[in-house]
Structure 1
Amino acid sequence: MVRYELLGMDVADLRFAVSPLNEAVLSLRAWRDPGRFPLQLRWLHVLEDVRGSLDEAMLLALTDVRLWTPDFLNPRPHSPLTRFDDELAKLASTDPTVIERDLRAVHGATPLPEPLQGSAAEVLNRIIDALARYWRFCFEPHWPRMRAILEGDVTFRGRQIAQRGLATMLSGLSDTVRLVGNVVEVRLRSKLDYARPANGGLTLVPSLWTTNASTPISADEPPMILYSALGAATLWEPQALPAPDGLVGLLGTTRAGLLSHLDTPASSTELAARLGVTPTAVNQHLRALRAGGLLVGTRHGRSVLYRRSDLGDMLVASAAPHS
C-alpha cells in the first residue's frame, strides 16, 4: 500500500494534470499483454501496419511481466496542457543514476534486457528515439481525441469535489483509493509499500491505460496517482460530424461533415480515427473537396493538414440555418 499524507485538507493540496508521455509509456502495457486492455484492441489492430517502423524491442523492454514501467518515464505533469515534446525534452536531462535505479526497480538485479544495456546516456538516447517514433506513428493522430477524454474526466472530478467533497471524489477514482483522515491510501496488487508526506501537493493523472490506480514505484518520486479515466470505452467509437441539411443534400453526409468540421486544420489520419474509417476512405473525400476548391492542404512535417478554403467557408456559411 502507498500512503500520501496531505499537509492540509484543502483542495489546494490536489492538482489534476494530463501527461502525453505517461500515456505513451503506459500504453506499452497493452502491447505486452493485450488481453488486459480489451478496450484498446481496435487501436492495437490499427497499429499492426506501423510496427515495422518502430523499435519494438526497445518499447517492449520498457515494461515487464507485471506491467511496471520505469518512474523516470512517468514524470509528474504540472498542467492539463502538457505537451509531449516538452516532456521529451525534459526527459533528456534525466540523471544517469535515476535511470539505472528505475530500470533496476522494474527488471531487478538480473541482466537488463538487451536494448537497455550500455551506458545510461546511450540507453536514454535510444529510449527517446524509440518513444519519439512511437508517438509520431501511434499516438499523434489520435491524441486530440484522447486528450478530450482525459480533460473531460478532469472537469468531472473537479465538479465532484465541489458537489460531494474530496473524500467522495478520491474514492471514485478506484475502489483501491480512499481518504482516511488526512491520508490518501492506494492499495496495490504488488508488494509496494511506503508512506510519505505529499510535499508540493498530490497530483492526480487520468489515464486510458490503467485498469486500477497506480503510483510511482519509488517513494523518492513526487506524489502522484494515475487512475482510469471516465469515458475510455468511448475512445474508438465513430464520431458523427454534423452538417447543415442543405450541405448534406449538396455534398453527401460524409463530405458535408468533413467540410463543416474543417474550420480548424486536421490530418486525414486524425479524421479517419474520429470517423472510424480507414485513412484511404477519408482521403478520397478530401481529394474531391480539394479538387472542388473547398479545401486547402498544408504540409506539416510528415502530414498534410486540411482546412476549409475561403470558398468552403462561404459555402458552409450560406448553408447554415438562418433564424
Structure 2
Amino acid sequence: MSELRFSLADVAGVRLAVSPVNETVMSMWALADPVRYPVHLPWVDRARVILRRPEVAVRVRPLTELTWRGCPLPDFLTPAARPNVELAEQLDQIAATPPAVVVRDLLSTIHRRPLSAFGLALLADPRGLLPRLVDAVRVWHDEAIAPDWPRLRALLDADVAYRAAQLAETGAGRFFEQLHPSLRWLGDRVVSDDPFERDFDLRGRGLALNPTVFTDRRVLWNLLEDSLPAGAYPVRAVGTLWEVTTPPPGDPLARVIGPGRATLLHLLAAATTTTDLARLSGMSAGNVSQHLAALHAAGLVSRSRQGRHVRYRNTDAAGVLLRASGAADPVG
C-alpha cells in the first residue's frame, strides 16, 4: 500500500496530460504478455510483424530488454508528462538524465527481477549507452506506435477532458476515488492499494496524472524527490480502442451520401466530439471534420460547445434519413 500526502498547493497542482513516451514504452508489456492484454491483440499482431524485421529488432533491443514480462520500469524511462508535451521533448528529457539517476533507478528495479544484459551494461556505462536506449524508444514509436497514434491520442485526449471536468466539478477527494478503484482519499492523502509500499510527501510540487492505454490493473507511480511526481492510470473505454465502426453491409444511406458520412450519422445518436468520432470510425480527424462540415451545412447534424470541446449530434432530419434507410436503432 502506498500513501501520497498532499498540501493545498499539491491539490491545486494536480494536472492531466498525455504522455507519448508512456504509450511507447508500456506497449512492450502487451507485446511480451498478450494474454494479459487481450483487448490489444489487433495491435499486438501488427507489432510482432514489425519486431521481426531485423533492422527494427536490433535497434529496439535495448528497450525490449528493459521491458521484459514482469520487469519494473526504471523511473527515468517514464518521465511525468506536461500538457501538450511532444515525444521529442520527452526523449530529450530522458537523454539528459544524469548518470547517477540512471544508476539509482536501475538498481531500484532489481528487487523484482535481475537486470538484463543491456540493463547491466547501462548500469556500468550510463553516459555511453543511454543514447542507444533513447534511439530504441524513438524507433519503436515511429514503427509501431505512430501509425496508430491518432487513434490512441483521441482516446487519451477524451479521457483527459473527462477527468479535468470531473476534477473541476467534484473536487480532489471524489476525483481520486473515481480515477481508479484502488485509490482512496483520506482528507490530506491518497491511499493506493498496491504492492509498492511508498510513503511520499508531494511537498507542494503537485502531481502529473497521465492516462495510458497499456496499464490495466493499477495506478503506477513515479515518485522521486528530484522530479515532478506522476501517476499513470488506466484510460477509460479502452475496449473500444481498436473497434472500427462502419455502416451495415448494403446500407442504402451509404450509397447515397457516401460511407464516411453514413458512418458518422450512425454514430451521432448521442453528442460526440470530433476526436471520439475519429477513434470510433477509424477515420482521420481531418476527414471527420470535413464530413461533419458537409453534414452540418446540409442540416443533418447540430453542434454545441461544452467548455473547450465541440460536440456534434444528429438532427431530426438525420433521424428521418436513418429510419428511411432501415437504421431504426442507430449506434450511440
Q: For 1:60-79, what aligned pairs fall within 5 Å after superposition?
A: 60-79=64-83
Greater shift, 175-184 or 60-69, is seen at 60-69
CA contact (8 A) 1:195 1:219 kept: no
d(CA) in 1 for partners of 2:129, 2:107: 13
Indicate how the Cα distance of structure 1 residues 275 and 185 shifts in structure 2: closer, same or farther if over 3 A, else same: same
Deviation at 1:155? 1.4
d(CA) in 1 for partners of 2:296, 2:214: 41
| 1:195 to 2:200 alignment | yes
Matched to 2:44, the amino acid is: L
Indicate how the Cα distance of structure 1 residues 110 and 229 shifts in structure 2: closer, same or farther if over 3 A, else same: closer
| 1:125 to 2:102 alignment | no
Secondary structure of the structure 2 residue equivalent to 1:131: helix
Counterpart position of 1:297: none
2:100 aligned to which of 93, 97, 112? 97
| 1:6 to 2:9 alignment | no
Secondary structure of the structure 1 residue equivalent to 2:12: helix
CA contact (8 A) 1:206 1:228 kept: yes
Counterpart position of 1:113: 116
Secondary structure of the structure 1 residue equivalent to 2:76: helix
d(CA) in 2 for partners of 1:319, 1:200: 45
Indicate how the Cα distance of structure 1 residues 110 and 154 shifts in structure 2: closer, same or farther if over 3 A, else same: closer
Secondary structure of the structure 2 residue equivalent to 1:140: helix
| 1:321 to 2:298 alignment | yes
Secondary structure of the structure 2 residue equivalent to 1:44: helix
Indicate how the Cα distance of structure 1 residues 218 and 33 shifts in structure 2: closer, same or farther if over 3 A, else same: farther
> TM-score if structure 2 supplies the norm length?
0.70
CA contact (8 A) 2:222 2:230 kept: yes
Counterpart position of 1:82: 85
Indicate how the Cα distance of structure 1 residues 38 and 217 shifts in structure 2: closer, same or farther if over 3 A, else same: farther
Counterpart position of 2:145: 139
Kindly provide the CA deviation profile for residues 169-210 of structure 1, in whole angstroms up to 9, marking residues without a partner as x: 1011212111111111222134x4232234311111111111
Matched to 1:145, the amino acid is: R
Q: For 1:11-90, what aligned pairs fall within 5 Å after superposition?
A: 11-51=11-51, 52=53, 53-54=56-57, 55-79=59-83, 81-90=84-93
CA contact (8 A) 1:2 1:187 kept: yes
Kindly provide the CA deviation profile for residues 100-154 of structure 1, in whole angstroms up to 9, marking residues without a partner as x: 1112222359973222315112221110111111000111111111111111111
Secondary structure of the structure 2 residue equivalent to 1:238: coil
Secondary structure of the structure 2 residue equivalent to 1:3: strand
Indicate how the Cα distance of structure 1 residues 169 and 115 shifts in structure 2: closer, same or farther if over 3 A, else same: same
Instruction: Give me the identity figure in percent.
Output: 30
How many corresponding residue pairs? 274
d(CA) in 2 for partners of 1:105, 1:159: 36
d(CA) in 1 for partners of 2:215, 2:97: 25
Indicate how the Cα distance of structure 1 residues 194 and 247 shifts in structure 2: closer, same or farther if over 3 A, else same: same
Counterpart position of 2:303: none
Counterpart position of 1:261: none
Return 5+ residue gaps in structure 1 as ranges: 259-271, 277-281, 283-304
CA contact (8 A) 1:11 1:166 kept: yes
CA contact (8 A) 1:24 1:139 kept: yes
Matched to 1:29, the amino acid is: W
Return 5+ residue gaps in structure 2 as ranges: 265-277, 301-332
Deviation at 1:9? 7.4
> TM-score if structure 1 supplies the norm length?
0.72
Please give the root-mean-square deviation of Cα atoms over the aligned residues, in Å.
Answer: 3.7
Q: For 1:156-235, what aligned pairs fall within 5 Å after superposition?
A: 156-190=162-196, 192-211=197-216, 212-216=218-222, 218=224, 221-235=227-241
Indicate how the Cα distance of structure 1 residues 125 and 104 shifts in structure 2: closer, same or farther if over 3 A, else same: same
Indicate how the Cα distance of structure 1 residues 56 and 179 shifts in structure 2: closer, same or farther if over 3 A, else same: same
Secondary structure of the structure 2 residue equivalent to 1:195: strand
